[in-house]
Structure 1
Amino acid sequence: MDTESAVAATPPPPEPGVGPDALVARARALAPKLVERQADTERRTFYAPDVHEEFRRAGFYRILVPRAFGGYQCGVETFLRVTMELARACPSTGWMYCLGAAHALPAASLFDAAAQAEIFAGGDFVCPATITPGGSAERLDDGHWRISGTWRYCSGSPYATHFMAHVMVPGQDGGQAPMLFIAPRDRWRRLDDWGQQLGLRGSGSHGITLRDARIPDRFTLPGTHMSEADASSAPGRHLHDDPEYGGAQFGFMLLEVAALAVGMARGALDAYAELMRTRPVTLMPSVCRADDPDHQLWYGEAAGMVTTAEAAVLNAVQQWSGLCARPPADFTRARDLAIAAICREAIRLCWSAVEGRLFPTAGSSAVRHGERIERVWRDLSTLHSHAGVGVLLAAVTPRELARALVKAPAEGQS
């Protein structure tokens, strides 16, 4: 079947008229169930099959899938707002959803029309991805690839339809270069190796193994690393008549993590507010925490930090989308790094709110294992071990941004 026929044969999304507000409202409506089942999610190491089914019916797995292939194509801001709501209720669930469904954007941006017609044939798209190259690849006589290896920390793998990763192959200069590839679900095996970490135990971040998996050449992009790919010249921008499918992937990846941090911190605020309404202060005279000036101060400071972080992330999303809509040359590395720097500061604000204000003043009974604030503290701590936060945002981004701004001070500031 040719590409035009594949597109024509793709059924429309289940609810063609659904919009951003409805999708966010659906995520918010699921919150009570997700909060209630956090411990169960951690024990299982991923959210339950019935939750997955509710996400599927709600259309969450199609938010970033192009309309041409049965998706809603609602844009990055809608996707990240849904992510915030889910992470607010259950950090593990939000993380697993976000890092599974997010990679519809690079798939629809970087691969050609024929590959996309196959990749998105199922409508719903869940595709964990890793950025560290691993494994081995051999070019076959028919031009396709045989790939083997194990990639760890593949968040979203339990309900995945595909897997996206990198492997090193011979480059044009005689050295080694990364190759981005997508493997359909029947080409790989999920490992039972997740759940013993400090936090995000229910995030479905299992390892994935390929053994002599035959990957069609159309599902590979030699010389491409997802975080550094120039999507402005890739097929997606024009194929879907949407500039967001031509935006910088580096900034988008970090916006995901920043949105998750905001959602988690919002959840800690929710739990702390409930304590203020229902618990007395520790010291005499005994008054409700809601009437205590100290608890008011701690909560108010934390709320201000998280509100500022959320505003910064949403503004950064709008900057990212606005730059996508401008001529590709305008989306410079400096501007991409400036968006990443906003993400860095938003995450720092969220962590300061939880670690510095809410966790130490919630009381010992509120930070026992399994309590909501304790869980957010563990999950936000573990978020910092993600390479995008612990390495890229903590060290690489500030240095690169400084070099870019000193060299071209007008860039990244408009």
Structure 2
Amino acid sequence: MDWMTALPQGHHETCDRARALLGRWRALAAETERARCISQQTVDDLLVGGLMQLVVPRRYGGLQSDWPTLVEASRIAARACPSTGWMIGLVGSHAAIVGRLPSLCQDTVFADGPGQIIATASVSKGVSILKVDGGFRLSGTWCFSSGIDHAHWVVLSGKDPRDASLGQTLLFTLRRERVQVEDVWHVAGMCGTGSKDLRLDNVFVSDAWVVLQSECFGSAPVGAGHNPGGYLFDVEFIPYLGSLHIGPVLGCAEGAYDDCVAALRNREVTKENAASKTRPIRLEQLAECAAQLSCARHLYHSIAFLLHSAGVAGRSLSLQELVTLKRDRAYLVRLCVQAVQQLVWQLGTGGIFDASPVQRHWRDLQVMASHMDVNWDSAMLAYGDFAMDHHPCDPAKAE
């Protein structure tokens, strides 16, 4: 898209560094899945290439990139290994959360340099949060902590016990060594994210390391003034955080398409196969998949443009923009899922073997598509409710 060519040179250099590593990540993808965690070699690649420091504040030696750079780097990586793309985009974005915390927290987290990996966990079970003098005591299990095996810090969320009627959520930041990792990550796809459970037993977190989520993720959080010139530290954060999934999803589907085309070409090594009666059907199906991914790319660029332009302007999204954003990212995911499903069918039994990267992309995509931030039903119902409650207008002008 033309607007992306106008992004700073640092954006294009970052994307080039990610592309240069695709061959290595592709070769490691199967082992990453078996290990259920990205390798230390991959982590080193990410840190040396600055790909885990994309949204670390500039004052700490980070790149302080804008949102399109973060999501595009994750998309590129996901073509070879969706788990690595997830690490760049989703886990890497957590540095921006720290960049919104009080300055003392930021200074402490990045005291050892910009290459700090920050894991999070928001889904919990059997959790107890007690207010005590000077802080809180946390017990229980927090789930889905992607990248925890390589993390230096952890950000947990939980309900504020001081007034349960308000239903407010708190964010607790603590060092990785203060939590126990429980290896329950035996899953059908996205194995390499290593999204294990975290167990805390009466762990104390000082008040200085606890903030209201609504204040941290809202516009102009307390830490924003510490990092001028970076809108990811200043604007309302949820639309940006919830949209990062489109990078790994689209990249995963594009990788599946490339691998499928390569496999189909290998089949046509004889004139008999090339002249098969079913060949026109395969070509038509392949063209349809390409069209679906082309549509997904248009939605991807539309979302990226919306978020970037709003961020540069320092404004929050309108309600109409929010429901449209949710609709479009859910539709993007559906297009990718449909395209890859068609590709799997095209390969037939040849695509079911572990040696075929298409089946791994297909399973990874199913897992990413199940994430609540791209849930089809909630996104479409929200948009439908909005459309019914507002006056009719020209959709092209409205969006």
Is the TM-score greater than 0.5? yes
| CA contact 2:217–2:238 (8 Å) conserved in 1 | no
Alignment partner of 2:351 out of 351, 366, 380: 366
Match of 2:280 among 293, 296, 299: 293
Measure, in 2, the Cα distance between the counterparts of 1:261 and 1:252. Answer: 15
Helix, strand or coil at the partner of 2:168: strand
Residues 253-295 of structure 1 show CA distances to partners (whole Å, capped at 9, x for unaligned) of: 332111111010011011012123211299x942179x94333
Q: CA RMSD in A?
A: 2.7
AA at the equivalent of 2:354: H
Matched with 1:10 is none
- Is this contact kept in 2: 1:157–1:204, CA < 8 A? yes
Counterpart of 1:394 in structure 2 is 376
CA distance in 2, matches of 1:65, 1:96: 14
Alignment of 1:239-318 (within 5 A): 239-241=226-228, 242-280=230-268, 285-287=272-274, 292-318=279-305
* 1:139 matches 2:131: yes
Q: Distance in 2 between matches of 1:54 and 1:296?
A: 38
Shift in Å at residue 131 of structure 1? Answer: 3.2
Residue 331 (structure 1) aligns with: 317
What amino acid is the match of 1:257? H
Structure 2 vs 1, CA of residues 89 and 320 (structure 1 numbering), >3 Å: closer, same or farther? same
1:363 counterpart SS class = helix
Distance 1:358 1:288, change over 3 A: farther
Alpha-carbon spacing, 1:245–1:187, altered in 2? closer, same or farther (3 Å): same
Would the aligned equivalents of 2:259 and 2:357 in 1 still touch at CA under 8 Å?
A: yes
Deviation at 1:406, TM superposition (A): 4.3
CA shift for structure 1 position 314: 2.4
Q: Give 1:400 shift.
A: 2.6
CA 1:248–1:336 in structure 2 vs 1: closer, same or farther (change >3 Å)?
farther
How many pairs were matched up?
A: 385
Unaligned runs of 5+ in 1: 1-16
> Cα offset for 1:171?
4.6
Q: Distance in 1 between the 2:93 and 2:317 partners?
A: 21
Residues 408, 65 of structure 1: alpha-carbon distance in 2 compared, 3 angstrom cutoff:
farther
Q: Cα 1:200–1:70, aligned 2, differ >3 Å: closer, same or farther?
A: same
For the Cα contact (< 8 Å) 1:276–1:295, is it kept in 2? no
Aligned to 2:337: 351
Shift of 1:352: 0.8
TM-score of the superposed pair, with normalisation by structure 2:
0.88
CA offsets 1:68-105 (integer angstroms, 9 cap, x no match): 12210111111111101111101222223433211122
Identical-pair percentage = 23
Whole-angstrom CA distance in 2 between matches of 1:211 and 1:66: 32
State whether residues 130 and 161 of structure 2, in contact with CA within 8 Å, keep that contact through their aligned partners in structure 1.
Answer: no
What does residue 168 of structure 2 align with? 177
CA distance in 2: counterparts of 1:22 and 1:322, whole angstroms: 21
Match of 2:60 among 35, 55, 69: 69
Report the equivalent of 2:28. 37
Unaligned runs of 5+ in 2: 1-7
Shift of 1:327: 5.2
CA distance in 2, matches of 1:217, 1:406: 45
CA contact (8 A) 1:199 1:379 kept: yes
1:107-160 Cα distance to aligned partner (Å, 9 max, x none): 223x1222222223231232222333552222232x222222211111111111
* Normalised TM-score (structure 1): 0.85
**Equivalent residue, structure 2, for 1:212:** 202
Runs of 4+ in 1 over 4 A off after TM superposition: 171-176, 405-412
Q: CA deviation at 1:211?
A: 2.1
Write the deviation string for residues 287-331 of structure 1: whole angstroms up to 9, x where unpaired: 179x94333222222122112212311221120121223354x52
Query: How far, CA to CA, are the matches of 2:110 and 2:283 in structure 1?
Result: 49
- The one-letter code sitting in structure 2 at the alignment partner of 1:366 is G
Amino acid at match of 1:294: I
Q: Distance in 2 between matches of 1:314 and 1:402?
A: 23
Once the two structures are overlaid, the 10-residue window that deviates more, 376-385 or 340-349, is 376-385
Instruction: Name the CA shift for 1:103/1:199 in 2 (closer, same or farther; >3 Å).
Output: same
Cα deviation, 1:7-56, whole Å, max 9, x if unaligned, reads: xxxxxxxxxx9822121111111111111222211111111111111111
8 A Cα contact 2:219 2:237, kept in partner: no
Matched, 1:120 2:102: no
**How far apart are residue 187 of structure 1 and its match?**
1.5
Paired residue secondary structure (1:42): helix
Q: Aligned equivalents of 2:388 and 2:171: distance in 1?
A: 32
Partner in structure 1 of residue 189 of structure 2: 199
Once residues 344 and 374 of structure 1 are traced to their aligned partners in structure 2, the CA distance between those partners, rounded to angstroms, is 22
Alpha carbons 1:100, 1:160 under 8 Å: kept: no
